[in-house]
Amino acid sequence: MPKEFFITTAIYYTNSSPHVGHSYEMVLADVIARYHRLKGENVFFLTGVDQHGQKVQQSAAKAGVPPAEFVKEVTQKWLDLSKKVVQGILQRLFEEGQIYKDKQSGYYSVRQEQFLTDKERGPDGQFGPEWGEIEFREEENYYFKLSQYKDWLLEYLKGRADAVIPDFRQTELRNAVEKISGDLCISRPKSRLDWGIELPFDKDFVTYVWFDALTNYISFADYDPSKSNIEHQPSNFQDRWPALQIIGKDILVPAHGIYWLIMLHAIGFPDDQMPQLLVHGWWNIAGAKMSKSVGNIVDPFVLSDKYSADALRYYLMSDMAVGQDADFSEERLIERYNADLANSLGNLLNRTLNMVHRYRDGIIDYAVRNIKQQEPEEPRSFERYLSLMNEFKLDAAINQASRRIKWSNAIIDAQAPWVLAKSPDKSDALKLSEVLYGCVESLRTAAVLLSPIIPKAAHGIFDQLNWKMELSGKEERFSLADAEWGRLPDRHAVGKPTPLFPRIEE
Ligand code: MSP
């Protein structure tokens, strides 16, 4: 059992700006990471190098250099580190005879940087326009003996039903593996590409691609390329590997599902040390792919400035089933925000705190403790939340938290505390205390459960409930233990309400 929970995202191409699809992947990984922190685990979260934003600017200012220079310096350190690992791995595979040189001639797509085979020809026998300019080439290159591992990969997938999540992606991968033929070209002559990591055994070539890109997942986790036995790896690496790797559906086959798993196997990773691949779908726009050329790119920075990061996170996590595609629409974001956050959650917080102040001087009555307060209608909703989160059914897990909120709103409507408050009956006074107690507990426990998804708002709820103020703003403020119903102490004084989710009026 690793000591750290290790989670990765893809690394992002920096030739274009991030769109909302990229932010989905990062938020998804971030939510899972936060959930594991909530469970009290140490988390190691790896994503691509970020050269954007104020943090960089601030650090650069501190260092007294312009941001561009600062970024370059830091990036260089990362590059030097990963270069060593890439070269170390290639050298080892070369010495073991797993990499060989061969000559290839044929049609080459300049745009896709690959040789084309008959498979790539259209029904008319021609290479389609997606390949761009085609030329005939004859070239020597290095090859990795990929196809000799086909049987191993099939066996591995057969032996582990959740190697890839969801199931249908594992099936897709297995079908692709059945079709493996030929080895993987892993180099380009420097004469035509010199932006790359030089092959350690031939200075006339750079490696291209995937040995340079995929190895980031282990190089940044302190993998030592000189040790083929994983038990001799540095303890840092052993503490965190294997990772849960979050990828989009387009980079399962062949990159992660075939090349990466085979590479790991070839360099000595046993089957029980293979990473698990969680494959998510794509956010489309009206059913079509988001693309720069179509001009339908949605900018996540614009959205989070406009609606808040939590609003965007909530929408992305609640309106897509992990693994499936979904359609992105700003109207839908607003709809979900207004219904779930502004009306349901925000409203409950606001009216509960107002009532506690109005009817109970801001104090949650201790008398309630004597009535063995039951958890809302569904005593097992917490366990359901846990198992849904563990199965990456985040949208359904969010619903488990939302049900508490709905339950409390419904109780307020049914019990009418404003009527109870006027009643001279002792039993009505007790009833009122009980309702208020239940509402505060719903809010408090829902905030814990929703904290991985909407961390800032969850802090806001805790602040207003006046709960764990000493941890305000800190991640340790949330722990699963606090999701237990009834933890609110006797005579707890709540804070004043301030609107958390103002309605979005379009
Ligand atoms: N650089 C490669 C990955 C190399 S991993 C060693 C790459 N980069 S990417 O920037 O094009 O995409 C990065 C990730 O974003 C991929 O997992 C991809 O599936 C995901 N997404 C890109 N567009 C997306 C959507 N529209 N929706 C959801 N995720 C999307 O591929």
Q: Which residues contact 384 (CB under 8 A, 6 or more apart)?
A: 378, 400
Task: Residue 410: count other Cβ atoms within 10 Å of its Cβ.
Answer: 12
pLDDT, mean of residues 397-402: 95
At 11 the pLDDT is 85
Atom of ligand 1 nearest to the CA of 9: 17
At 57 the pLDDT is 64
At 367 the pLDDT is 64
* DSSP per position, 351-396: HHHHHHHHHHTTB--GGGGGS-PPPSS-TTHHHHHHHHHHTT-HHH
**72 or 148, greater pLDDT:** 148
Question: 1.10.3720.10, 3.30.110.30, 1.10.10.10, 1.10.730.10: which CATH number matches 330-493?
Answer: 1.10.730.10
Average the pLDDT over each of 60-74, 87-101, 196-210, 247-261 and give the range with the smallest value.
60-74
Tell me the pLDDT tens digit for each residue of 71-106. Answer: 676 666 656 666 888 999 999 999 999 999 999 899
Average the pLDDT over each of 48-57, 299-308, 467-476 and give the range with the smallest value.
48-57
How much distance in Å is there from the Cα of 85 to the middle of ligand 1? Answer: 23
DSSP code of residue 180: -
Q: b/e per residue, 74-86, with b = 16+ CB within 10 A?
A: beeeeeeebbbbb
DSSP code of residue 476: G
Q: 67 pLDDT exceeds 80?
A: no
Tell me which of 17, 25, 47 to substitute to probe ligand 1's pocket, judged by most ligand atoms within 8 Å of the beta carbon: 25
At 465 the pLDDT is 98
Look up tokens 């933890």; give the residue.
487
Total residue length of the chain: 506
How much distance in Å is there from the Cα of 25 to the middle of ligand 1? Answer: 8
Which residue's C-alpha comes closest to atom 15 of ligand 1? Answer: 22
Q: Which residues contact 126 (CB under 8 A, 6 or more apart)?
A: none
Tell me the pLDDT tens digit for each residue of 220-254. Answer: 999 999 999 999 999 999 999 999 999 999 999 99
Tell me which of 14, 15, 250, 316 to substitute to probe ligand 1's pocket, judged by most ligand atoms within 8 Å of the beta carbon: 250
How much distance in Å is there from the Cα of 236 to the middle of ligand 1? Answer: 28
3-state SS assignment for residue 326: strand
Supply 10's token pair.
């893809």
Q: How far is CA 1 from the centre of its chain?
A: 22
Q: 56 pLDDT exceeds 60?
A: no
Q: b/e per residue, 248-280, with b = 16+ CB within 10 A?
A: beebbbbbbbbbbbbbbbbbebeeeebbebbbb
At 50 the pLDDT is 47
How much distance in Å is there from the Cα of 165 to the middle of ligand 1? Answer: 17
Supply 184's token pair.
């993987």
d(C-alpha 41, C-alpha 151), whole Å: 36
**Strands 114-116 and 244-248, sheet pairing:** unpaired
Atom of ligand 1 nearest to the CA of 260: 6
At 76 the pLDDT is 67
Tell me the pLDDT tens digit for each residue of 421-436. Answer: 999 999 999 999 999 9
Task: Residue 39: count other Cβ atoms within 10 Å of its Cβ.
Answer: 15
Fold match flag (5-98+149-161+208-298 vs 330-493) = no
Residue 119: Cβ-neighbour burial (10 angstroms; 0-12, 13-18, 19+) = exposed
Q: 51 pLDDT exceeds 70?
A: no
d(C-alpha 437, C-alpha 488), whole Å: 9
Domain boundaries, the chain: 5-98+149-161+208-298, 330-493
How much distance in Å is there from the Cα of 108 to the middle of ligand 1? Answer: 25
Atom of ligand 1 nearest to the CA of 13: 10
> What single-letter amino acid sits at 406?
K
Atom of ligand 1 nearest to the CA of 25: 29
3-state SS assignment for residue 321: coil
CB-based contact 24:12 (threshold 8 Å): no
**82 or 467, greater pLDDT:** 467
Measured from CB, residues less than 6 Å from any atom of ligand 1 are: 10-13, 21-22, 24-25, 213-214, 247-248, 250-251, 282-283, 290
pLDDT, mean of residues 469-475: 95
d(C-alpha 217, C-alpha 213), whole Å: 8
> What single-letter amino acid sits at 224?
D
Task: Residue 375: count other Cβ atoms within 10 Å of its Cβ.
Answer: 18
At 380 the pLDDT is 76
Atom of ligand 1 nearest to the CA of 282: 27
User: Which CATH class, in words, describes the domain spanning 5-98+149-161+208-298?
Assistant: alpha beta
At 266 the pLDDT is 97
Instruction: Work out the percent of the chain whose per-residue pLDDT is above 70.
Output: 92
Average the pLDDT over each of 131-135, 279-283, 460-464 and give the range with the smallest value.
131-135
d(C-alpha 362, C-alpha 365), whole Å: 9
Q: 506 pLDDT exceeds 90?
A: no
Atom of ligand 1 nearest to the CA of 216: 6
d(C-alpha 497, C-alpha 55), whole Å: 32
Average the pLDDT over each of 156-170, 346-360, 471-485 and give the range with the smallest value.
471-485
At 501 the pLDDT is 97
